[in-house]
Structure 1
Amino acid sequence: MRTPGPEEAESDPVTARLAERLAELRTDQGWSLDELARRTGVSRSTLSRLERAEISPTAALLGRLCTAYGRTMSRLLAEVEAEPPQLVRADEQAVWRDEAAGFTRRAVSPPHAGLRGEVVEGVLRAGADIAYQEAPVPGLEQHVWVLDGELELTVGSATHRLRAGDCLRFRLWGPTRFHNPGPEPVRYAVLVVMP
């Protein structure tokens, strides 16, 4: 997890809105910071700093929080954005980066409360390795289509090596791991369908 500088924290409205939304979700559940820490395995101090927008979350941390709140990462990020339009130009698509993990996530089709599907683009730098401990929403359907490079994707206990053009379809019930074993970045699309 990285700590933004004072100028960066003030100039990043998405981080501020995300922090506010995470605090609202915890309050809506009636959970203390200690209870959320117990449910996620994330320290109370980290959660507190996150909710005050003093730090920017990593992909793994957001994954843990999404699991606790029963949301996909896309849905959580969409909740801090304005109502999505029907057409989103490439230069207007929301991009989120976890520089420390080497992960970039683009919301190609922002989720809408009344719709079940969405498209997300992911880019992992060479050697990047991101693990999610459990499904944010049990039974979530995903299609992972590799556009460039090579991706090692572990779903549950099965590991699949995907190359450009390959697509893996699965329902998500447990842990997943996205790893880029190659010397080049890997770019892939994830099609998500809520159960």
Structure 2
Amino acid sequence: MGTTELEQRLAGRLAELRTERGWSLDDLAQRADVSRSTLSRLERGEISPTASLLNKLCAAYGRTLSRLLAEVEPEPPQLVPADRQPVWEDHASGFVRRSVSPPHPGLRGEVIEGTLRPGADIAYDVPPVAGLEHHLWMLGGALSLTVGDTEHRLTNGDCLRYRLWGRSRFQCPGPEAARYVLLIVLP
């Protein structure tokens, strides 16, 4: 499967970020705990990144995934029509991410719609930016969200507020997809 135009721009931006810092592929591999060969293939646009891989890279670069994606998209307007909201899908994990209100210079918050297929299980070792404020509001299905060592079971209408300092894990027990809105506020 080939990469999309967005993934090609993302690959280029990831290579730029590494070069801007003066890091070799080996340096980044050590910082992100990702193999050098995977990083090389990703930067050349030969593979599509997973959510877990992008999270590791965002942590190494100290930025949120939304901010990284915004860097490869044109400046977002104040009004973001539904058909212009960037959608990214991690086919391997069954995660679909819609950037409802993309990051914007001068603003600290953003809104994301997430959908996880039944059985999806995504673990993040570290937050992309320590201390991110999250407000997760369930729109449908069920979600098991572990923040640090605490597991939270959410169903339709529930809202979980937390600051993200360490690891997290999103699991969709099914039988239907978990659909939620996530408001992220930079510290």
- Per the shorter chain, which TM-score range? over 0.9
Q: Which ranges in structure 1 are unaligned for 5 or more consecutive residues?
A: none
- Tell me the distance in 2 between the aligned counterparts of 1:189 and 1:133: 22
Query: Which residue of structure 2 aligns with residue 72 of structure 1?
Result: 64
Q: Which of 172, 175, 179 is the matching residue for 1:183?
A: 175
How far apart, CA to CA, are the structure 1 residues paired with 2:46 and 2:146? 33
The equivalences for 1:6-155 within 5 A come to 9=3, 12-155=4-147
- Counterpart residue type for residue 111 of structure 2: V
Partner AA of 2:134 in structure 1: Q
Deviation at 1:157, TM superposition (A): 0.3
Partner amino acid, structure 1, of 2:100: V
Q: Alignment partner of 2:114: what SS?
A: strand
RMSD, aligned α-carbons: 0.7
Cα deviation for residue 13 of structure 1 reads 1.4
SS of the residue corresponding to residue 41 of structure 2 reads helix
- Report deviation, 1:85: 0.4
Structure 1 length-normalised TM = 0.94
Structure 2 length as normaliser, TM-score? 0.98
Quick one: percent identity of the two aligned structures? 68
Aligned residues: 187
Matched to 1:40, the amino acid is A
**Which AA in structure 2 matches 1:84?**
P
- Determine helix, strand or coil for the equivalent of 2:163: strand
Structure-1 separation of matches of 2:73 and 2:124: 24
- Structure 1 residue 27: deviation in Å? 0.7
1:165 pairs with 2:164 = no
Shift of 1:113: 1.9
TM superposition shift of 1:129 = 0.4
Instruction: Write the distance in 1 (CA, Å) between the matches of 2:36 and 2:21.
Output: 16
Could you tell me which of 174, 180, 187 is aligned with 2:166?
Answer: 174
Aligned AA (2:156): A
One-letter amino acid matched to 1:69: Y
- Secondary structure at the residue paired with 2:174? coil
